[in-house]
A = this chain, B = another copy of it.
Amino acid sequence: MEFTAKQIADFIGGRVEGDEQAKVNTFAKIEEGKEGAITFLSNPKYTHFIYETKASVVLINDDVVLEHPVTATLIRVPNAYECVAKLMQMYAASLPKKKGVDPLAFISKTAEIGEDVYIGPFTYVGDGVKIGKGSMIYPHVTIYDGCQIGQNVTIHAGAVIGADGFGFAPSQEGYDKIPQMGIVVIEDNVEIGANTCVDRSTMGQTVIHKGVKLDNLIQVAHNCEIGENTVMSAQVGMAGSTKVGAWCMVGGQAGFSGHITIADKTFIGAQSGVISNTKGNGEQLIGAPAIDPKVFFKAQAVMKKLPDMYRELGALRKEIEELKKNK
A residues near B (Cβ < 8 Å) are 27-29, 32, 39, 43, 45, 81-82, 85, 88-89, 91-92, 102, 104, 106, 120-122, 124, 138-140, 142, 144, 154, 156-158, 160, 163-164, 166, 168-169, 173-179, 181, 189, 191, 193-195, 197, 199, 201-205, 210-211, 213, 215-217, 219, 221, 223, 228-229, 231, 233-235, 237, 239, 252-253, 255, 257, 259, 270-271, 273, 288-289, 291, 295, 298-307, 309-310, 312-313, 316-317, 319-320, 323-324, 326-327
In the complex, the answer to whether A217 meets B215 with C-beta atoms within 8 Å is no
Q: Which of B156, B160, B239, B303 contacts A306 (CB 8 A)?
A: B303
A85-B178, A91-B179 provided; 16 other pairs, C-beta below 8 A?
A27-B181, A39-B203, A45-B259, A122-B124, A139-B142, A157-B163, A163-B194, A164-B191, A197-B216, A215-B219, A219-B252, A298-B306, A301-B307, A302-B306, A309-B313, A312-B317
Contact across chains for B271 and A270 when beta carbons are under 8 A apart: no
Query: Cα distance A158–B122 when bound, in Å?
Result: 12
Asked whether, in the complex, the Cβ of B160 is within 8 Å of the Cβ of A195, the reply is yes
A-B contact pairs, 11 of them (CB 8 A): A28-B203, A29-B202, A29-B204, A82-B169, A122-B122, A158-B160, A175-B213, A197-B217, A233-B239, A302-B309, A323-B324
Contact status A271-B255, CB under 8 Å: yes
Q: Are B179 and A88 in contact (CB under 8 A)?
A: yes
Indicate whether A273 sits within 8 Å of B273 (C-beta atoms), given known contacts A142-B158, A235-B237: no
Q: How far is the CA of A29 from the CA of B303 in the complex (A)?
A: 42
A189 and B174 form a contact (CB under 8 A): yes
A104–B123 CA distance with the chains assembled, in angstroms: 11
Are A231 and B89 interface neighbours, CB within 8 A? no
Distance to closest chain B CB from A24 (angstroms): 12
Q: Are B191 and A177 in contact (CB under 8 A)?
A: yes
Q: Within the complex, what minimum Cβ distance (angstroms) separates A258 from chain B?
A: 9
On whether A320 and B316 interact (CB within 8 A), knowing A197-B216, A291-B304, A310-B302, the answer reads yes
The reply to whether B178 and A89 form a contact with Cβ atoms under 8 Å apart is yes
Do B168 and A160 touch across chains, with their CB atoms under 8 A apart? no
Q: In the complex, which of the residues B163, B303, B304, B310 contacts A156, with contact meaning CB atoms closer than 8 Å? A: B163
Report the Cα distance A102→B204, complex, angstroms: 29
Residues of B within 8 A of A301 (CB): 307
Q: Which of B43, B204, B273 touches A270 (beta carbons < 8 Å)?
A: B273
